Amino acid sequence: MATSAQTVSQPRMVNGLNVSDVLALIEAVKQDPAEGQTHWKVSSAWRGGTHTRSYVDSFHLSGKEHRRRFTIDMDEPEQIGGGNLYPNPQEHLMAALNACMMVGYVALCALHGITLEKLEIETEGDIDLRGFFGLDEDVPAGCESLFYTVRIKGDATKEQFAEIHEMVRATSPNFYHITRAVVLNPKLVVEQSTQAPRTETAATSQ
């Protein structure tokens, strides 16, 4: 009897995902929407040149803070003024989109009992630097469109994978963030400098 109880309590693992825990969380959120409320925060600091370091300290789930410490570094290619030490923000954005969708594919396949053998996502896009440099107000500052390819293999039919694909598009947070107009609420805090303030002078003198 003890062996049987121990077997029952073992987590169900599919694609490296603890399906038992995921199903338990889904059920908890279904019973009480407050259990599914999350809050995310990233702080970023200039490190000189085009180097930015971002910090993750924690996130909140159902009103409880969970500590987790990570740093994320970003830079720019030398060809556009950077130090080429790290991927740039656009590459991080694409990586974040890929990773978010990948979690969706892994989780949804696991919940449907589909074992994955391969999962790759490649995303690319074009930016016209005339927009970034403010040279032409008619040129967008970023990508007007992104192209992504998902390569997936496992013990499911093409139709089943197509269904999973559409479910990921409907439920991926970062797919939502990129394909919808997300409201940004800016707040500018200008701190007092230890240096003397610059005084504006006329560009030309008579």
Domain spans of the chain? 11-30+88-180, 41-86
**20 CB neighbour count, 10 Å cutoff:** 13
Q: Which residues pair with 55 in a beta bridge?
A: 43, 71
- H helix intervals, the chain: 2-9, 19-31, 89-111, 129-132, 158-171, 173-179
- Measure Cα distances from 44 to 6, 52, 145, 182 in Å: 46, 7, 26, 20
CA distance 200 to 38: 46
Q: Which residues pair with 65 in a beta bridge?
A: 60
* Rg value, the chain, Cα: 23
Give the DSSP letter of residue 28.
H
Q: Return the closest-CA partner of residue 90 out of 139, 42, 132, 40.
A: 132
Place of tokens 């990508």: 143
**Which tokens is 201 given?**
């002078």
Is residue 111 within 8 A of residue 22, CB to CB? The reply is: yes
Domain 11-30+88-180 falls in which CATH fold?
GMP Synthetase; Chain A, domain 3 (3.30.300)
Model's pTM, two decimal places?
0.87
3-state secondary structure of 10: coil
pLDDT tens-digit profile, the chain (206 residues): 344 444 445 778 999 999 999 999 999 999 999 999 999 999 999 999 999 999 999 999 999 999 999 999 999 999 999 999 999 999 999 999 999 999 999 999 999 999 999 999 999 999 999 999 999 999 999 999 999 999 999 999 999 999 999 999 999 999 999 999 999 999 999 998 888 887 765 554 44
**107 CB neighbour count, 10 Å cutoff:** 19
**112 CB neighbour count, 10 Å cutoff:** 13
